[in-house]
Structure 1
Amino acid sequence: MNKPANFESYHIRKWYTQIDDTLANETGRLADGAPLRKIVIAAAIVNPYAGRYSESLDLIVEHSPALGHEFARRIVALMGDDALESYGKGCLVGSEGEYEHGNAFLTAIFADPVREAIGGGKAWVPSTGKRGAPGTVLDIPLAHKDELYVRSHYDTLTVLFPDAPNADEVVIAFAFATRGRLHARLGGIKAADVAAAMASAA
């Protein structure tokens, strides 16, 4: 069945949003500061290469900047007064597609509009993905958006989508966090030091 485009050249079946707030750590110790808010925005998109091999992946890549702008618009609408400190991205590819198809959605030209929308991002965006059926669990890695080696911000956000991906779909997900882990105490570079260094360089 031919599925009509409803966003640029893509057929997007569904958008997803997940938000959770952690108020205390696993032992029950209350947050050292603000709660940790994690946000996931995802879309189930028909894979134009489902069931076939193609050397070119332009049908995915060409309009991915516009897709990035839509993800950016959605995260800005959800942020409110919160500043986001961490990010990560991932994909789930349905059984008729290749893992490569998911990665084609996640290139820098897709991620750059999102970086800009959340105040920039000097560090690379950690990424993951796999093939799977509806309900497959995906662990999206998180890291500080401006300095990869801020240990307090190494984290994971676990997501699943009960009705996606269909065999001919790819789910694209972007994850964000407002701070590092509660009561992180492994030393190293601190997020406050990164912010101060960026402010002095501005």
Structure 2
Amino acid sequence: MQASNGVGAHIEIRKLSLYREETLTEAGRPPARPAFRASVAAVVSNPWVGTPATTDLSAAAIAMAPRLAKVLTDKLIQALGGVDAIEAFGKAAIVGTAGEIEHGGALIHTPYFGNLVREFLAGESIICFADARADAGETLVVPLWHKEHAATRSHYQTVSARVPDAPRADEIVVIAAASTGPRPHPRIGDRTTDPAVTAQKLEEVRS
């Protein structure tokens, strides 16, 4: 698949992998709110393989990251029923063994990816993330939280992403993930209403 970011640069996406799940029962009961979780992974060639650790990564990141953000979020939106249905999001990258962990960061930890994922999914929160360097087939657990209110603890959850034949040594797997709702039975309160807890206060309780 050839993709252009609109400024003359092209990237080749070897494969797109979509994972989608719905929990039908948890602890013997249906979820309080039915929710779908999904991840979309794009397998791309690593343009920095073989370059020294001093290499400036910005040019290739600017060329690749915006298009990846668009392709991945389009697939998420389609899989989860529209932008308005999505409540939580996350991002991740798995770098093949010939690359640096920084190569994955160049594609997901800059405004050229993160800001656009946030915009395309109508979010406001900083996007939580995971990254790793691994052989093909590695499973990465991608953390999610609420796309507008990061302190909403009910939406702290994860979704797994795995591409059986990627990343090859010279590839990067770039992932966007999302959920349409909270964990099945959230009941541990919220950060905005938590009491002030300190070690000193806990010591006083124990004494």
What TM-score comes out, normalization by structure 2 length? 0.82
2:114 matched to 1:115?
A: no
Q: Quote the residue 1:64 is aligned against.
A: 65
Quote the Cα distance in structure 1 between the aligned partners of 2:29 and 2:50.
50
TM-aligned CA deviation for residue 135 of structure 1:
1.1
User: Equivalent residue of 1:90, what SS?
Assistant: strand
8 A Cα contact 1:23 1:36, kept in partner:
no
Larger Rg computed on CA atoms: 2
The 5 Å alignment of 1:49-198 reads 49-53=48-52, 54-57=54-57, 58-80=59-81, 83-106=85-108, 107-118=110-121, 120-188=122-190
Can you give the 5+ residue segments of structure 1 that lack an aligned partner in the other structure? 191-202
Q: CA RMSD in A?
A: 1.8
User: Equivalent residue of 1:17, what SS?
Assistant: strand
8 A Cα contact 1:17 1:41, kept in partner:
yes
Quote the Cα distance in structure 2 between the aligned partners of 1:74 and 1:41.
7
Can you give the 5+ residue segments of structure 2 that lack an aligned partner in the other structure? 5-9, 193-207
TM-aligned CA deviation for residue 67 of structure 1:
2.1
TM-aligned CA deviation for residue 65 of structure 1:
1.4
Deviating runs (4+, > 3 A) in structure 1? none
What TM-score comes out, normalization by structure 1 length? 0.84
Quote the Cα distance in structure 2 between the aligned partners of 1:66 and 1:72.
10
